[in-house]
Amino acid sequence: MSASRPPALKLLLVDDSELVRMGLRALLAAERAIQIVGEAGSVAAGVDAVVKFHPDVVLMDIRLPDGMGFDACRKILQKLPDTKILFLTSVVDDHLVDEAIRSGGHGYLLKEINGRGLVQAVLDVAAGKSILDPAITARVMKLVKTGGPGNDVLTSLSPQEKRVLALIAEGKTNKEVGADMNLSEKTVKNYLANIFDKLDVNRRSQATALYVQHKKTDHGL
């Protein structure tokens, strides 16, 4: 008797272009690990759809007719904080990237990404990882360097907290960090809460950006 397949993760599409949504549906339809449970074309409809369908991941455009994607992100996370928000957009703008990250988004991708990359990004975000398009990373580093806490902020972390953050920056989930450090998943979450507090951030992507910038500075990059 074969083992039963784990349930597919539930994905919601939020984009004001019906053509884009149709394309995403066609692209993702063949992926057994993903089930598209609904779609929306505005901030209000997106928030309503999240409450209705309880998706694991929301694939969110930045610019919507009645507001911005990060407005929807904040409202969604207030109602259902375990929902993962993955921004998919054609917009490359420092201010919007910064707002998307500060709103609590778990990833930021450009629409130029290929199909396999998009599928993997959705799966990774659902697993608890933070995703940044390579084309965006340099901009995030610049924002962190010029507008965020100073590079010496990591000195406030204990050696154990730095180890946790280093593993998180590698893209590991809390469970994977716990396995590597012989810690319980709950203990890892407690460490992360302390790290976020000390760095004055509230998301893994923000903490990761700070860590990466700090390492680049240490090595004179």
pLDDT of res. 3: 52
Percent of the chain exceeding pLDDT 70 equals: 82
Say which CATH architecture domain 9-146 belongs to.
Answer: 3-Layer(aba) Sandwich (3.40)
Domain boundaries, the chain: 9-146, 159-219
Q: Do 79 and 88 meet the contact criterion of CB atoms below 8 Å apart?
A: no
Out of 61-70, 90-99, 165-174, least confident range: 90-99
At 171, the pLDDT band (50, 70, 90 cuts) reads confident
Say how many C-beta atoms besides its own lie within 10 A of residue 197's C-beta: 11
Of 123 and 89, the one with more pLDDT:
123
pLDDT of res. 197: 83
Instruction: Measure the CA–CA gap between 219 and 107, rounded to whole angstroms.
Output: 26
In sequence order, what are the residues at sequence separation of 6 or more whose Cβ sits closer than 8 angstroms to the Cβ of residue 219? none
CA atoms within a 13 Å half-sphere pointing along the CA-CB vector of 112: 8
Structure tokens at 105: 């988004």
What mean pLDDT do residues 121-145 have? 72
pLDDT of res. 39: 95
What mean pLDDT do residues 207-212 have? 76
Answer CATH for 159-219 from 1.10.540.10, 3.40.50.620, 1.10.10.10, 1.10.3720.10? 1.10.10.10
pLDDT of res. 170: 82
CA distances from 205 to 15, 120, 209 (A): 23, 17, 6
Indicate whether 204 pLDDT > 70: yes
The 10s digit of each residue's pLDDT in 29-57 is: 888 899 999 999 999 999 999 999 999 99
* 9-146 and 159-219 share one fold: no
